[in-house]
Amino acid sequence: MSTQPRTDENTEPAWLLVTRREVVSRITDKSFLLGTAFMVVLIAGFIGFSAWQGERTERVTLAATPDAVAMAGAIADSAPEVDDKVEVTVLETDDEAAAETALREDEADAWLHPTDDGWQLTSESSEQDALTAVARAVVRQQVLADNAASAGTSVEALETGSTVTTDFLRGDAERAGVAEAVGFVFVFLFYFAALVFGMQLASSVIEEKQSRIVEIIAAAIPLRHLLAGKVLGNTALAMIQLLVYLAVGLVGLSFTPYKSFVPALSGPTAWFIGFFLAGFVALACLWAVAGSLASRTEDLQATSTPLTMLMLVMFFGGVSLDGRAQVVASFVPPVSAVVMPKRILAGGVEWWEPLLALGLLAVFAAITVWIGERLYRRALLQTGGRVSLRQAWGAAE
């Protein structure tokens, strides 16, 4: 008897019915909504904290004994030139004991005093990083000026030819920093979505198989329609969640000191959405296969191990690869789903490279779906224990 669904004008395709069921059941689930809301709050909170940190002026108190007051005053006066986010106030103390007391009683953040071979900053229990950086720069300049005057020359003459600058073949240092941070966010979002929705998809397949509901479904619609509906439904949910996160991130970034980069991030973000879609469809199909190979929930860890390892390779590859290895990986599916968007962020990518990488990823997704569909159909109705890939591939229809 044919299992093809009826296609009269009042009947929707079976895959669309399954897709709608997946979307509606998840999007009305409190845990899904609360999880999404929590991530939105987390992203907004992180961006808000970063913006606050970027605008915050760090005020520090520097204790100084009489033999260090002049140098401490120079540090306080020159601090804004070295770091405009650091404000130094000098606390004059009578002697070393008074300076130590000021540290212990939190009246001062650090104590400046001379040593046999220079100067030392002493703090109560942890180093004051911002103050240390400012003090090092100012003390070096002051000592150089004194030594140059003693030698009958100038600081400029002593430092001639000693300057080291940095440059990038692509972009600049600030853009490179932003690209690295946003690239990590892209990699994390892909990994997070593929793992969370993939596990949910595989678990739902196992539940239907273990309860034998799938046998009733299989009598009504083709299993390929069931697979298509599950993959498309979870893909739609993942895309909705991803778009929410990206929108919150870009809007939040517009309120930070990096707001000038928001227009430049729009293009790479659009590319990331395309790569995410192709890569997620391929992985979602593999997660459905992992669920169909298992007969119990306890089997999922074993059947999903190769897929989990692949996702870890994608994550660490996306985070750590650079140079020639990154260029090569940006064309190798499915790693290209996270590596190519990072390259686009950094700039300097030829126009055809993302198109080629996305085309290869789409071909990979199509092949994965074709293989996964065959494995899914042949393993889903087999009960009595975990099914191996070889058994699923060779099983009768």
**pLDDT given at position 2:** 42
Name the 3-class secondary structure at 111: strand
- Cα 85 to Cα 11: distance, rounded to the nearest angstrom: 66
Per the CB < 8 A criterion, the answer to whether 265 and 57 are in contact is no
Q: Which of 101, 133, 159 delimits the end of a domain?
A: 159
| 202 and 335 in a common domain | yes
- The answer as to whether 259 is a domain residue is yes
On the CB side of 173, how many CA atoms lie within 13 Å of its CA?
A: 3
| 194 and 119 in a common domain | no
**pLDDT given at position 3:** 46
- The answer as to whether 31 is a domain residue is yes
In angstroms, the Cα distances linking 182 to 166, 225, 290, 305 are 22, 37, 31, 29
**pLDDT given at position 351:** 92
- The answer as to whether 204 is a domain residue is yes
| 155 and 126 in a common domain | yes
Q: Which of 103, 131, 159 delimits the end of a domain?
A: 159
Across the chain, the runs of DSSP E, i.e. the strands, are 58-64, 86-92, 110-115, 118-122
Per the CB < 8 A criterion, the answer to whether 253 and 259 are in contact is yes
| 343 and 196 in a common domain | yes
- The answer as to whether 306 is a domain residue is yes
Query: pLDDT tens, position by position, for the chain (397 residues)?
Result: 344 444 444 577 888 989 998 899 888 888 888 989 999 998 888 888 777 776 677 888 898 888 888 888 888 888 888 887 888 889 999 888 888 888 888 888 888 888 888 888 888 777 778 888 888 888 888 888 888 888 888 777 777 776 776 655 455 566 677 788 889 999 999 999 999 999 999 999 998 888 888 888 888 888 889 999 999 999 999 999 999 999 999 998 888 877 888 888 889 999 999 999 999 999 999 999 999 998 888 888 888 999 999 999 999 999 999 889 999 999 999 999 999 999 998 888 899 999 999 999 999 999 999 999 889 988 887 776 788 888 878 766 6
Query: End-to-end CA distance of the chain, in Å?
Result: 14
| 360 and 315 in a common domain | yes
| 278 and 185 in a common domain | yes
Rg (CA), the chain: 30
Q: What is the DSSP string of 313-381?
A: HHHHHHHH--HHHHHHHTTSTTTHHHHHHHHHHHS---THHHHHHHHHHHHHHHHHHHHHHHHHHHHHT
| 195 and 106 in a common domain | no
Across the strands, what pairs with 110? 62
- The answer as to whether 6 is a domain residue is no
Q: Which residue range(s) make up the domain with 264?
A: 14-51+172-394
- The answer as to whether 179 is a domain residue is yes
- The answer as to whether 1 is a domain residue is no
- The answer as to whether 8 is a domain residue is no
Q: Give the burial class of 217: count Cβ atoms within 10 A of its Cβ; 0-12 exposed, 13-18 middle, 19 or more buried.
A: middle
Prior bond to 13 cis, omega within 30? no
| 364 and 333 in a common domain | yes
| 386 and 356 in a common domain | yes
**In this structure, are strands 110-115 and 58-64 parallel, antiparallel, or unpaired?**
parallel
Q: Domain with 72 in it: what CATH number?
A: 3.40.190.10
Number of domains in the chain: 2
- Cα 248 to Cα 43: distance, rounded to the nearest angstrom: 7
pTM for the structure as a whole:
0.77
Per the CB < 8 A criterion, the answer to whether 138 and 78 are in contact is yes
Name the 3-class secondary structure at 383: coil
| 298 and 224 in a common domain | yes
| 186 and 129 in a common domain | no
**pLDDT given at position 173:** 60
**pLDDT given at position 54:** 67
Q: Which of 159, 192, 224 delimits the end of a domain?
A: 159
| 62 and 23 in a common domain | no
